[in-house]
Each structure stands twice: as structure tokens, then as C-alpha cells.
Structure 1
Amino acid sequence: MRPTDLISPESVCASLKAATKKQLLQELSEKAAKICGVAAREIFDALLHRERLGSTGIGEGIAIPHGKLAKLKGIYGVFARLERPVDFAALDGAPVDLVFMILTPETSGADHLKALACAARMLRDAGLVATLRATRDDSALYSLIAQRSKPHAA
């Protein structure tokens, strides 16, 4: 699975504005709703449910919020670079400025874990992360992800 299997040019935002974690999740939910056809409130509720189990902020300014929804027909992702970092209660306490949200059907099983692993793999590349942070254009951000995406056996 590659990051471009999860996101499309329409699901990338290079300068998302959010002041809080809750507002960030609401903005991501709105963007995802336009792409996957599920109500933004349902997406937001699924993300909040997961966050109550523990923060999906993985450290170094990165978060991978995710949720499972019964109405989804496939796996969807939204990638965002925040204009200003927000507190996300991340493992290392650092505020988050890069977010790769993943939504999967409730019945996705191992595909949910593969999608999470794919996002984490991409965001472990320090060079790519630095370039993503410096990019302010949606299409350029998507192009960077697409160019750097390499298939991995899962």
C-alpha cells in the first residue's frame, strides 16, 4: 500500500487553519466528508471516539488520527499541513503540524492496519517530512507525496 492509495489531490491541504485539536479534527472531517460521502459529524464522532482511547499524535509534530465507519465503501485519507502547530496531546508533548487522517470501513480488518503502517512509514522519512513542512501549495504537496511514494509489501 502506498500513500497515494489513500489520498488524492483533492484530499490534501497545505495550509489548514485550526487553533485546537478539536477544531483540527472538525476541519479534517469536513474535508473527508466531501471526498467519501459520509456526514462530517459521523467522521468527527469516529475520530473523537478513537482519540478518547489515546492520542494519535505519534511525536515529532505528526499525528495519524483514524477511525472506522460502517458506511464507508473504501479507505480514505486526508493529508494536511497546519499553518500553526496545535497541541494534540502527542506522545512526546510536541504540538502537531502534519496530519495524515485515515478512515476505513468497519469491516476493513487488516487493511486498516496496513493503511496506518503506510502513513507511519511515509512520515518516518525525515527528508520528506522537512520538505512537506516547507510546502505551501496543495498540488505541490500532493506531488511530493506521489513522487516519494514507493510500493511496499505489506
Structure 2
Amino acid sequence: MTALFTLLPEAVAIVPAGSKPEILELLAGTFAKVYGLDHEDVRGGLRDREDLGSTGFGRGVAIPHARLGSVGRPLAAFLKLQSPVDFDAADGMPVDLVFGLLSPEAAGSTHLHALAAISRMMRDEHMHQMLTQATEPEALFGVLCNVIDRDAA
């Protein structure tokens, strides 16, 4: 079995952000730069999905996601915020871990499976703790890849 999405090391960062719109902007910029996508297209897709309801997952985690015609396979990006930001999460807690996902428009169940895998990963207490404690993008990427590779096996 292969991974449900692609996550490149360059798509993992620790960033400052002060608001939900700024987080979506940073996430769109990361997807555009790392995967060669159109920044405006990505930002619009993430905002449109967020307008339907917050992707604030709870426990300090948000999973902004969108389906875009310009995407050929599911792609991921991960941002750890330098300080928590209000994201209108269901539990009311501010967010400091942001796992973004973009999938092809016609991804259907593939998109849902990738979201479910990210959700499981973010619900895992040990994983959450390791991500919270990591202080470098390389360490974050290592933690994420260990779980992604394990779950794909």
C-alpha cells in the first residue's frame, strides 16, 4: 500500500501567524512554493472550504483542506505555529498545529481516506505530544513520516 498523500520536507515549517486568514495564506503559500501550484487557486479553495465550516479539529489542531482541479494527487503541508491562534474550532481551543490537504477535484473517497488518516494521526496522544515538543521542521517531518510510512505499510 502506498501513502494516501505526498508530504515533502519543504512543506513542513514552523511559522508565526496571528489570525485564521493569515494561517490560510501561509498554507496556500507553502503549497504554491513547494508543489508548484497557483497561490490564488489554493488560497481560494482553502477559504471556500473554510466558509462551509471551520476545519478546526480540536485539541489545538486544524486540518484545512480543499479539492482543486489543478492538483493531480493528494498533497499535504504541515505548519506548526509559534503561538496558538483562534481558528473557530469546535472545542473553542486555539490552534497551533495545522495539517493542510489538497486533493484532485474528482478524488472522491481518496480525499476522504486521506482526511481520515490525518485525523487519526492528529488524535493520537503520543503523536500530538511529539509534534508539540518538536522545535525544528526536520524533527516535525521525521515524526510525521514515521507515522505515514508505518500506516502505509
Give TM class, smaller chain.
over 0.9
Structure 1 counterpart SS, 2:10:
helix
- Single out whichever of 139-148 and 88-97 deviates more from structure 2: 139-148
* Structure 2 portions without partners, runs of 5+: none
Partner of 1:103: 102
Query: Shift of the alpha carbon at 1:41?
Result: 1.1
- Give the Cα–Cα distance (whole angstroms) in 1 for the partners of residues 152 and 72 of structure 2: 23
The residue number in structure 2 matching 1:9 is 9
Cα distance between partner residues in 2 of 1:69 and 1:147: 27
When normalised by structure 1's length, the TM-score is: 0.92
* Contact in 2 for aligned 1:12/1:80 (Cα 8 Å): yes
Q: Tell me which stretches of 4 or more aligned residues in structure 1 moved more than 4 Å.
A: none
What TM-score, normalized by structure 2, do the two folds share?
Answer: 0.93
Q: Say yes or no: does 1:31 pair with 2:30.
A: yes
In the other structure, the counterpart of 1:129 is 128
Which residue identity is paired with 1:131? Answer: M
1:2-151 maps to which residues of 2 (within 5 A)? 2=3, 5-13=5-13, 15-149=14-148, 150-151=150-151
Percent identity, please.
Answer: 38
RMSD, matched Cα: 1.5
Q: How many residues align?
A: 151
Question: For each residue in 1:31-79, what CA deviation from the matched residue of structure 2 results, as whole angstroms up to 9, or x when unmatched?
Answer: 1001222211110110110011100001110110000111111111001
**Please, which runs of 5 or more residues in structure 1 have no aligned partner?**
none
Q: Aligned letter for 1:32?
A: F
How far apart are residue 148 of structure 1 and its match?
3.0
